[in-house]
Amino acid sequence: MSAPENARAPLIGITTYGRDEKGRFALPVEYVDAVRRAGGVPVLLPPGEACVAELIERFDGFVLSGGGDVDPARYGGDAADPRVERVDAERDAFELALAKAVVERRVPALSICRGCQVMNVALGGTLHAHLPDAVGEAIAHRPAADDGDERLRHPVAVEGGSRLAALMGTMRPSPVSWHHQAPDRVAPVLRVAAHADDGTVEALELPEHPWLVAVQWHPEMSAAEDAEQQRIFDGLVAAARERRSAGRE
């Protein structure tokens, strides 16, 4: 006899990168591994899906993954800025719609790097299109293009009383960082949950939502050996399981 639907492992939809030059969709395996370690079943969601409402009904939680820059035209910025990288109109449209839907339908969601930026824009915020213009270069938020170091880290200060602090069990993690943009004007409904020492907004939460966390860093890149970062995925999957058990009310 099969297990009752609500007893099954929660389904976690993970957005993928856009189409590459060969027409393929891809995503680093670390996202999948982190969800699996947390007890969820990961399912990759490529850009271009029009039936966002159906996804919301089928899945118990979501991860909005990292990637290229959000088009500044989406938040009133300078779309002609030559420093904006890897803009993908198809991906922007899909993920902005998905971000709005998880908020409206109160579905657990973890937004990572680009995903954090997408969530802020979807809810009415803006971005620093080129972060060094706003905070300088005292802290490197991503590796130099020629050094190949995928594990650049810097400390962040987590706000006391935040969901993120409770999840990680620390107020001063040093996670892996790799981002070019960051929230500028934070959407009114969101709350800042962490800063870098240079003032960069590093995490956002939605207090009125059952479980919505957005981080600028990449927890998936160190979660295999870093329990603090894995606990973020554990929290997402636990919230998704609770939603499934409650009948997705």
Enzyme catalytic residues: 113, 218, 220
What backbone torsions phi and psi does residue 194 show, to the nearest 5 degrees? -165, 150
The beta strand positions in 53-108, using DSSP E, are 61-64
Residue at 142: amino acid letter: R
Say how many CA atoms lie within 13 Å of 122 toward its Cβ: 23
247 Ramachandran zone, left/alpha/beta (phi>0; psi -120 to 50): left
Q: Which residue, chain included where needed, has tokens 């007890």?
A: 39
CB of 40 within 8 A of CB of 240?
A: yes
Cβ neighbours around 12 below 10 Å, total = 29
Which residues are CB-neighbours of 24 under 8 A, at least 6 positions away? none
Greatest CA separation found in the chain?
60
Which residues are CB-neighbours of 176 under 8 A, at least 6 positions away? 150, 151, 152, 153, 217, 218, 219, 221, 222
Return the structure tokens found at 24: 């393929």
Q: Rounded to whole angstroms, how far apart are CA atoms 20 and 38?
A: 29
Q: Which residue, chain included where needed, has tokens 């995903």?
A: 115
